[in-house]
Every structure is written in structure tokens, then in C-alpha cells.
Amino acid sequence: MPHLPPDVARHLSKWRPSLRVSEAQRVGQGWNAVAWRVPSDDGDWLVRVPRRSGATEEMRRQTCLYRLLTPRGLPVPIDAELVLDSGGVIAAAAYRFADGEHAARERNRGRRRALLAAQLSQFLTELHSTPLKQVRECGITARNKWRRYEEWMTWHDDRFGPATRQYLKRLREQWAVTTSGGGIPQRLIHADLVPEHIIVNGGGIVSSVLDFGGPQIADPAVDFASLGRHYGWSFADQVLAEYASNERTAIRARARLYERVLPLHAVDAGVVRDEPSLQRHGLRQLAAQAARSPT
């Protein structure tokens, strides 16, 4: 059974003596951090331990953001804090553990599906209306998401087959037409709204939305693209229908294009992390989409 690294356990015990660090259970691992569930006399905590040096700044931004959003009533991690070592370096990020299960697509049907859609619509409405001045004070900056996708198309062009290359060219042309009017809004977005980051309780109530991807200021259509990819477009449209905006048609048009280029994340990450299987997964997804796309 894996155990918390001794130095992290020591810093946690000093930060909150009621934590039972010897009983910590490893519950997940991502590119940036390893997640642990640590019991305490006053309730369990989720502790994220950085895996690489660059992860600590993202943890700092996320923690600041959670503390900003909690008073706004959004279902985000609560009591978020940074755990520092004796030199003031981030040893871990912690917040209250959210009981529940992932909002998996196959478990959200009928009433639960409608309930989840309504809650996510309200969540995104509130999230996307967060004052950007406060967001920037957390060190969160603006990103041009489509420009990054175009960069990836260029950087990895030699990895694509002819059909995929033509498919991506058509998407770029469609983007130019879709955004020809300009004026793409900039909002605080989640940027990684996948089922594993949406926690619901037994009654289908969203208890927490975790692991903001970045976080970042960007086009709000990106969040709807994630929903379309992972839940299907009928669900994403259901969320969008109740989203408080007079730009829903334009948001949907951009979201459909973002959704089609999402596999580029896997292609690029596979190269950066030296994970050939991840790279191949992204390339296969793009090739399959190209094969289904009308020429």
C-alpha cells in the first residue's frame, strides 16, 4: 500500500495536527500531481502533492481561485489552502474531500440528466460572469485557445496523414468564417470539464467541480466543447439552452469547432510527456473524425 512521502506527511501534520497522515489513501494521479485522501477528526481532506516543479504555480492559482469562487456559491472545493514547507515552498494543496461519484455519462439519464444539465448551466453562467479583475489577481491570464490549436496543427503536421491534414485545414477555414465578425468574449473558464471533475451525490446534486484546467481566461465556448465531447451534443445543447447569454448561437458554433480539435491535446501531450500511446490515441481520433467528415 503506498504511503505519503515522509516530508509531505511531516508538513501536513504541522499544518493540521488532526490529520491522520498514516491512514492516507492514494486516490489518483495526473500530469501535475498525485491526489491523496487524508482522514481527519473533522472530516477528510483531498491533498494534491506536486509531481513536477511547474505544478506548484498552477496549485497556487487554483487555490486562490477556489477561495474566490466559494463565496459566490459555486460548487468548488472548499477550505482550499496551500501547505508550505519550512522554506515557504508549496509542499501540497489541500481542500475538503467531496463525497460522491463522478458524473459519468452512462449514469446520467432521465431525471438525473435534466438535473445535471440545469446545475451545469447555472454553474457555467456564474463562472463565466466572475469579475476578471479579481480573477487576474490570482495570477490567471488570458489565452487564445484556437491559436494554440493552430500552433499544434503546425508543430505536428508531419504526424498527420493526408486525410487528417485536409480535415484540419477545413476546420481552420470554418473557424475563419465562423469568427469573421470578431469579438470573441473572454471569460473565466473551467477548461477541463470532464465527468471525472464533476462530483455528484446520491441524489444527483453536484457537490463539487474540481481541477480547473489551468485555470485560464478564454472563450466560454471551450467549456461547452468539453461537454459535447464527453456527454454528447444533445446534452451540451441542453446545458446551453439554460445558459444566461444572448450569444448562445455563436457560442455553439465555436464550441463545435473546438470539440473537433480536442484530440490535438493528446497528440501534443504524448510528444511532450514521451507517451507514444497517448499520441497515437489522439492521432487515431483525428483520423476517425476525418474519415467521417464530408469532403
Closest to 164 measured CA to CA, from 256, 274, 255, 261: 261
Alpha helices in 156-275, H assignment, sequence order: 162-178, 221-231, 233-241, 248-261, 263-272
Taking the C-alpha atoms of 178, 182, 183 and 186 in order, what is their torsion angle to the nearest 10 degrees? 70
3-state SS string over 15-36? HCCCECHHHCEEEEECCCEEEE
DSSP 8-state secondary structure symbol assigned to residue 174: H
Are 117 and 58 found together in one domain? no
pTM of the complete model beyond 0.85: yes
DSSP structure string for 40-83:
BTT--EEEEEESSTTHHHHHHHHHHHHHHHGGGT----SS-EEE
Are 46 and 129 found together in one domain? no
49 assigned to some structural domain: yes
Are 48 and 160 found together in one domain? no
1 assigned to some structural domain: no
Bridge-based pairing of strands 101-102 and 90-96 is unpaired
CATH of residue 26's domain is 3.30.200.20
The x, y and z cell numbers of residue 186, run together, are 473572454
Point out the domain boundary residue: 57, 79, 96.
Answer: 96
Are 125 and 164 found together in one domain? yes
Q: 258: domain range? A: 101-292
Give the C-alpha separation, 8 to 11, whole Å. 5
DSSP reduced 3-state for 218: strand
Decide if 96 contacts 45 (C-beta within 8 A).
yes
Closest to 148 measured CA to CA, from 243, 265, 282, 254: 265
DSSP reduced 3-state for 280: helix
CA angle 201/206/208 to nearest 5° reads 100
Decide if 233 contacts 117 (C-beta within 8 A).
no
Please give the average pLDDT of every successive group of 10 residues along the chain, which has 295 residues.
91 96 94 95 96 90 97 96 95 96 84 94 98 96 96 97 97 95 91 94 93 90 97 96 94 98 97 95 97 84
Give the C-alpha separation, 52 to 272, whole Å. 14
What single letter denotes the amino acid at residue 267?
V
Are 109 and 246 found together in one domain? yes
pLDDT in the model for residue 54: 83
Are 140 and 209 found together in one domain? yes
Measured distance between the N- and C-terminal CA atoms of the chain, rounded to whole angstroms = 53
Give the C-alpha separation, 130 to 124, whole Å. 10
Give the C-alpha separation, 206 to 189, whole Å. 18
pLDDT in the model for residue 230: 95
Q: Radius of gyration over alpha carbons of the chain, in Å?
A: 20
Are 66 and 46 found together in one domain? yes
Q: How many domains does the chain have?
A: 2
